[in-house]
């Protein structure tokens, strides 16, 4: 498919990743810095099925070189073969593509590495840490885990963004982004230990920039001794 993808594409091909072409059907600005783009799936959902927090890798042109970024599916409909992706806009080729996306545009995508295992036992309380880039995955996670109460540390503001929290069982703690994520790390380090002690079967889900995710996952696993099967941590982006 399309242009060569360098070593990343070669590795994915060796891992038997599946390639698809998506076609834009609609695009809208949710806020000035957050854009939703809807697609037809090129047969993907029938072939792969759907699971919570499912994500795909999109391939963008970056000054003549291939660049891949992962995005979580929003409202996937296997019967219709449609879904949406949501883009937290900033500088870069992925955001540039999303800003200009219009019906009829196409983009190549790869599916490999995505998965979701329901925690067993079911969580007595969910603790999630994220930001605008991982908001679609947070929404999907809350949907998947049903009635479990949740505490969410969200780096940034949710003003105008599509969040699916239920106020009587979900508490959102907005945290300004300061010091390249260090402020978020300190807030979670300060507040999470006491909350963990108050619940028997916690589940911790972390998806921030790579450095913040690494710092918090290390804290949760090593210092708080939460078993690895009760922690999911994935860096969603790299700070420039």
Read off the pLDDT of residues 82-118 as tens digits, 9 standing for 90 and up: 999 999 999 999 999 999 999 999 999 999 878 888 9
- pLDDT band, residue 1 (cuts 50/70/90): very low
Question: Which alpha helices (DSSP H) does 104-200 contain, by range?
Answer: 135-144, 182-197
Per-residue confidence (pLDDT) for residue 113, from 0 to 100: 76
Residues of the chain with CATH 2.40.30.10: 6-111
- pLDDT band, residue 238 (cuts 50/70/90): confident
Residues of the chain with CATH 3.40.50.80: 125-233
Between 3.40.50.80, 3.20.20.140, 3.40.50.720, 3.40.50.300, what CATH number should domain 125-233 receive? 3.40.50.80
Read off the pLDDT of residues 121-147 as tens digits, 9 standing for 90 and up: 999 999 999 999 999 999 999 999 988
Average pLDDT of the segment spanning 22-45: 97
Read off the pLDDT of residues 191-216 as tens digits, 9 standing for 90 and up: 999 999 999 999 999 999 999 999 99
Q: Mean pLDDT over all residues of the chain?
A: 90
Per-residue confidence (pLDDT) for residue 239, from 0 to 100: 66
Per-residue confidence (pLDDT) for residue 11, from 0 to 100: 45
Contact in structure between 92 and 239 (CB atoms under 8 Å): no
Per-residue pLDDT for 13 more than 70? no
In this structure, whether the domain defined by 6-111 belongs to CATH 2.40.30.10 is answered with yes
Mean pLDDT highest for which of 37-41, 111-115, 158-162? 37-41
pTM greater than 0.95 (yes/no):
no
């Amino acid at each position: 498919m399309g242009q060569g993808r360098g070593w990343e594409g070669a590795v994915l091909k060796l891992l038997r990743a599946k390639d698809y072409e998506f076609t834009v059907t609609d695009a809208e600005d949710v806020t000035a810095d957050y854009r939703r783009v809807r697609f037809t799936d090129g047969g993907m959902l029938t072939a792969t099925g759907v699971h919570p927090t499912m994500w795909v890798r999109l391939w963008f042109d970056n000054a003549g070189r291939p660049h891949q970024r992962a995005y979580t599916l929003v409202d996937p409909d296997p019967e219709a073969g449609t879904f949406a992706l949501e883009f937290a806009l900033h500088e870069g080729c992925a955001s540039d593509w999303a800003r200009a996306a219009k019906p009829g545009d196409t983009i190549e995508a790869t599916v490999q590495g995505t998965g979701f295992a329901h925690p067993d036992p079911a969580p007595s309380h969910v603790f999630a840490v994220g930001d605008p880039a991982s908001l679609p995955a947070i929404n999907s996670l809350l949907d998947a885990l049903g009635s479990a109460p949740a505490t969410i540390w969200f780096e940034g503001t949710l003003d105008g963004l599509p969040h699916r929290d239920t106020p009587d069982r979900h508490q959102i703690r907005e945290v300004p982004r300061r010091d390249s994520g260090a402020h978020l790390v300190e807030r979670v380090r300060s507040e999470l230990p006491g909350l963990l002690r108050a619940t028997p079967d916690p589940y911790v889900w972390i998806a921030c920039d790579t450095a913040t995710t690494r710092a918090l996952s290390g804290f949760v696993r090593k210092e708080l001794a939460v078993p690895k099967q009760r922690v999911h941590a994935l860096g969603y982006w790299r700070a420039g």
